[in-house]
Structure 1
């Protein structure tokens, strides 16, 4: 699962596509996050509109990203979740108490500037 990054408003958007398996993609994802954190870019939006599947290690990777960014007064928001992935976050009770989900990347990015 390749990912791309871009800037939207004051946030960095990670566009995930295909399968997000933390055990495989986690190292590259974490490396990019560390690079952004070092540059002071700590507002992250995860665009899941093109993600088809996520396993438990993928969720763990996102939890790690959230923890890392919150330690430096940043945040991670989820956007454009497909039903299958949204159900996984609901089942694990991470949606709401831990992660916030937005319908659009723009809404997620804007929520960090409130």
Structure 2
């Protein structure tokens, strides 16, 4: 299953929320992303059927190995791109917003080159 940008964003959000050490539920994802509960429920269903997320009987979400790999890749891109833009003088809010857009379209080849150039390997 090929993930679209929205799927990557959901996985990244689950990763970010899980870093707090608390259990992550769909309602947490909904609140964090500002999306309706039905929209999140539908997206989580697609991610579950794609093998990216599991949900226990209590509604707690967990990334599968594949889901975690995708989420960590996107999160790394977001973090590095935002930092790189800020070193160029872009304000934090704009850098974060632009990095969120760029993280989904930059190729792995270009990202690795940018990472190497920025000395952030």
- TM-score if structure 2 supplies the norm length? 0.27
Q: Which has the higher strand share?
A: 1
- TM-score if structure 1 supplies the norm length? 0.28
| Greater relative contact order, per chain length (Cα 8 Å cut-off, separation 6+) | 1
Q: Which has the higher helix share?
A: 2
User: Which has the higher Rg, Structure 1 or Structure 2?
Assistant: 2
